[in-house]
Amino acid sequence: MRMRPTLSWTAGEDALSGAVDPAPVADALRAGGVLVLSGAGISTESGIPDYRGEGGSLSRHTPMTYQEFTADARARRRYWARSHLGWRVFGRARPNAGHRAVAAFGRHGLLAGVITQNVDGLHQRAGSADAVELHGSLDRVVCLACGDLSPRRELARTLEEANPGFAPTATTLNPDGDADLTDEQVGDFQVVPCTVCGGVLKPDVVFFGESVPPARVALCRARVDAATSLLVLGSSLTVMSGLRFVRQAASAGKPVLIVNRDPTRGDRHAAARVALPLGAALTTVADRLGIGLDD
């Protein structure tokens, strides 16, 4: 049976009023031991849209589920055509002030680590080398038959060779790295198999409807245990994969702070929510702490 992902959440009476002064975030970082949990909202200033914010991709786009991808060859063709085109743009995205601020906080010893729900690799490019990629990364491809891992750039080259002249126009990129294409634009796009065993290739990311690997969840839970506080950046916390860490921190009596312009599903567990764009908020915090983003 196919399962549909949790795509929406409606704010209730427990939603926090958004503050416009990031002082609580600066205070938490000053004390040190902060664990960052980031979502798609931190990458919007790099040109990658989020799922649920204003103009978010879910208003026009339903992400591929794991069940659809594994069960339907036509769905895989559609996914890889869209993803191959989107990768050309996605791969050129660069870290913004929010990513650089998180990396700077880490270099100054203020963080207990970074967990990101994003698959764009921008935290790592900014300098947060030890960020845990909760949902994986589009930089890698995995074979569902033999488990072989390979760089995405190799698959991109193979797909170019298998689909000469494939260059439809797509104006919209989605947070999962694919572009909006019609069935006509997808056409007879050729999907390529694993070069090791001939199996089905999938990006090494956790699709909607798929579970985060238990070992990765355990690693993240250990980081929550070791942290003094939890700082959520740019996530609505709609899906349980991120919300569970907020609940864990709150249950342990650790302060939870959220920087997100809209209410989140984790507001009831938070001490404060700052309703500012991530780049501006974190740049202000860095200034107050006397930290340059490139220090």
Q: What is the pLDDT of residues 179-226, one digit of tens each?
A: 888 889 899 999 999 999 999 999 999 998 899 999 999 999 999 999
The verdict on whether residue 57 carries a ligand-binding annotation is: yes
Q: What is the pLDDT of residue 103?
A: 98
57-92+138-205 matches 16-48+95-135+212-295 in CATH topology: no
Q: Are 261 and 53 in contact (CB under 8 A)?
A: yes
Domain-by-domain residue ranges, the chain?
A: 16-48+95-135+212-295, 57-92+138-205
Please tell me the total number of residues recorded for the chain in this structure. 295
- Rounded Cα distance, 185 and 91, in Å: 21
**CATH value of 16-48+95-135+212-295 in 1.10.275.10, 3.40.50.970, 3.40.50.1220, 3.90.226.10:** 3.40.50.1220
The verdict on whether residue 235 carries a ligand-binding annotation is: yes
Compute mean pLDDT per 10 residues along the chain, 295 residues long, and list them: 46 72 97 97 89 48 85 94 85 93 98 96 95 95 98 95 88 72 90 97 94 97 98 95 97 98 95 96 98 91
135 is catalytic: yes
Q: Are 77 and 186 in contact (CB under 8 A)?
A: yes
Q: What is the pLDDT of residue 248?
A: 98
- Tell me the HSE value of 140 on the side-chain side, using a 13 A CA sphere: 16
The verdict on whether residue 237 carries a ligand-binding annotation is: no
Place of tokens 């507001």: 267
The verdict on whether residue 49 carries a ligand-binding annotation is: yes
The verdict on whether residue 41 carries a ligand-binding annotation is: yes
Q: What letter does residue 145 receive in the DSSP assignment?
A: T
3-state SS of the chain: helix, strand, coil percent to 5? 40, 15, 45
Two structure tokens written together for 52:
């649920």
Q: What is the pLDDT of residue 2?
A: 35
Q: Are 22 and 284 in contact (CB under 8 A)?
A: yes
Q: What letter does residue 56 receive in the DSSP assignment?
A: -
Tell me whether strands 136-143 and 149-151 are parallel, antiparallel or unpaired.
antiparallel
Place of tokens 């929010």: 98
- Candidate list 61, 99, 123, 135, residue with the active-site label: 135
Instruction: Please give the CATH number for the structural domain made up of 57-92+138-205.
Output: 3.30.1600
Partners of 113 in beta bridges: 35
- Rounded Cα distance, 130 and 195, in Å: 30
